[in-house]
Amino acid sequence: MERIRLRNTVFEGLNNAYLLPGDRLTLVDVGVATDDVRRDIRDGLDDAGYEISDLEAIVLTHWHADHTGLAGELQAESGADVYVHEADAGIVAGDAGALDEERAIRERRFEEWGIPDGPLAEVTSYLDGNTDLQGDPVDVTTVEDGDRIAAGDGELEVVHLPGHAAGLSAFAFDGDDGREAFVGDVILPKYTPNVGGADLRVDRPLETYLDSLARVADLDFARAWPGHRDPIDDPAGRARVIAEHHRERTERVLSVLDEHGPADAWTVSAHLFGDLSAIHILHGPGEAFAHLDHLVAEGVVERDGTEYSTVVADVDVAELVPVPETKR
């Protein structure tokens, strides 16, 4: 397996693509559709002794442009099969219905969150001005949890881990030290993946993501190969750290409501993160919403229109946000 480092000046953090040589040359994730990344992919393949036309399979962890942007043009040049989880397939394929649905949910959420006119115009302009980064439409082959894909000289097992994105999937394989996985943005070595804003289609985003973290911990991979930055040698431990982070954030959200509530998601976000710009105008209130939504479902907070307020005092946050046990 070869890791190809991809420049990423659009979104945070360096991206990774992973090349699996063998009987079925396979690329896991492809990066955003920019000229720099096109060169990175070509150079990475060339360094390994291949050309784009040699690709037979492309496996995508989720629909975000920094993971899928070049899939369409790479497929057009190579004829490779492109695999993605069925929940993300419509967006990756460029299906008008799926794109319209995502946009409609976005507009509804922005109104519900109470984003002021200025930041709303900024984030809308940012999102609409970067649609080309998603690249060309793709002829996708859909997969679901438990499916196996021939890749390189072996196979990849689909492990559906939604939360950051509805279709986000890891792809597990037998490594030198045990079971390993390409994990996309399920867990990252430095940042905590955004939940709530990264994919507005996800219902109960925080609960969904916590369930995925628990599954990562239970699977106890020997190593994880993330979509950004360096390998993670203790994926279960990293999943635990991220869950602990969300427990602490839930405590902060409750503190904000106690001090400043009733408040909408934008106001809570402002107290958590301060001033925001560009994509963070989506991610900040999205993260606040994920926690508020979770607290409403747990009966600790109530929502009245766009505003949230605490209805239960002395909450045991440890019961609301479980942290998975690790096996090591």
Q: Quick one: pLDDT at residue 265? A: 98
Q: Residue 328: is its pLDDT beyond 70?
A: no
Mean pLDDT of 182-202: 96
Mean pLDDT of 160-178: 96
Q: What pLDDT, in 10s, does the model give residues 81-125?
A: 999 999 999 999 999 999 999 999 999 999 999 999 999 999 999
Q: Quick one: pLDDT at residue 14? A: 84
- Residue among 254, 244, 268 nearest 301 (CA): 254
Q: What pLDDT, in 10s, does the model give residues 251-271?
A: 999 999 999 989 999 999 999
Tell me the pLDDT band of 130, cut-offs 50, 70 and 90. Answer: confident
Torsion of CA 166, 184, 107, 284, to 10 degrees: 120
Fold entry, domain 2-101+130-234: Metallo-beta-lactamase; Chain A (3.60.15)
CB-based contact 16:61 (threshold 8 Å): no
Element (H, E) at 279: none
Q: Quick one: pLDDT at residue 11? A: 64
Domain ranges in the chain are 2-101+130-234, 240-320
CB-based contact 148:169 (threshold 8 Å): no
325, exposed or middle or buried, with CB in 10 Å at 0-12, 13-18, 19+?
Answer: exposed
Fold entry, domain 240-320: Arc Repressor Mutant, subunit A (1.10.10)
Q: What pLDDT, in 10s, does the model give residues 293-319?
A: 999 999 999 999 999 999 998 899 999
